[in-house]
Amino acid sequence: MSVVSNEIADLTGSISGLLDKSPDKEKQKQLGAAQDFEALLIGQMLHSLREEGSGWLGTGDDDAGAVAFGFGEDQLARALTKGGGLGLSKVIAAGLAAKSAAAEKTIAAEKTIAAGKIAAAAKNAE
């Protein structure tokens, strides 16, 4: 294989890698990450409230009680987040979407440059 053929193969491989990303899947991943972060934040808030000594249903002084309370706090935090939570997940997802849009513009520019390089390499190969 010649050097030009290797260059063309490398460039077409990188272009096909750029085309594999689906915007819908990316948005779902961003929203999921934002919701996970918000659930973690709410869970930490619930944990700090319990640690202050007020407790939820008892003292939770033993290890088993502490683990059970931890699981309960995590599940409550996830349920609150799925129901809208504090609204942070929407704000975070919007910020991630804006960054993704900027990245997509960069990728489009890179595709144009790569296509130009492929055309130039093909022309030089003739």
Residue 57's φ and ψ, nearest 5 degrees, are: -125, 10
pLDDT of residue 88: 83
pLDDT of residue 87: 85
Token digits of residue 30: 């961003």
Mean pLDDT of the chain: 76
63-110: per-residue pLDDT in tens? 777 788 888 888 888 888 888 888 888 888 888 888 888 888 888 888
Q: Count of domains in the chain? A: 1
Nearest to 30 by CA among 101, 78, 85, 107: 101
Does this model's pTM top 0.85? My answer is: no
Give the domain extent around 24.
3-125
**Sequence-ordered alpha helix ranges (H) in 1-126:** 3-19, 23-49, 63-82, 88-125
Structural element, H or E, at residue 52: none
